[in-house]
Amino acid sequence: MVPPDLHRLLARAGLGARVVRGKEGGGEGLQLPRVPGAYVLVLGLAEPAALPARFGEATLPPGWYLYCGSARGPGGIAARLARHLRREKTLRWHIDTLTVAAAGTAAIAVPDGDECALVAKLSESGNIDVPVPGFGSTDCRTCASHLLRWTSTT
């Protein structure tokens, strides 16, 4: 599901071996750690996706996106990713709009990880830009966005 070149970018960031593919319709049955940490959602948009009203009339074009988040609550990374990978859910967070619109998803669990460190590591890996400033990072003073777009298709 993840294109080979994107998988290489994830490997350069030290994340390639951790990719877990999402199941069609949800994340049930995936073996994910039930500990606090961070994660990267890999989202493939086949069609343009409208963003929540907070971002104006913005629409993301088709392509591959990486969302870095944290999971510190009950159930840890497993609970958070299971929710993100479900198709049927109440839209609560900015990323929910994209997870239901995505044609394909994958997840990378990083126990004891930090979402801002993941954003930095992925940004340094190359072929990454910030498609929507402030997306998923409204409470972050470090990152321009926790949503990244992979800009390479080769």
pLDDT along the chain (154 residues), means of 10: 79 73 49 86 94 85 95 91 88 90 89 93 90 88 94 68
* pLDDT value for 37: 92
Predicted TM-score (pTM) of this structure: 0.89
Predicted confidence at residue 28, as pLDDT, reads: 47
Q: What per-residue confidence (pLDDT) applies to 23? A: 45
pLDDT at position 133: 92
For residue 25, the tally of other CB atoms under 10 A from its CB is 10
pLDDT computed for residue 153 by the predictor: 54
Q: Two tokens at 90? A: 């109440």
pLDDT value of position 31: 67
Residue 17 has a pLDDT of 58
Q: 3-class SS at 96? A: helix
Residues 82, 61: Cα–Cα separation, whole Å: 25
Specify the DSSP class assigned to residue 26.
B
Residues 6+ away with beta carbon under 8 Å from 5: 152, 153, 154
Residues with Cβ within 8 Å of residue 74, at least 6 apart in sequence: none
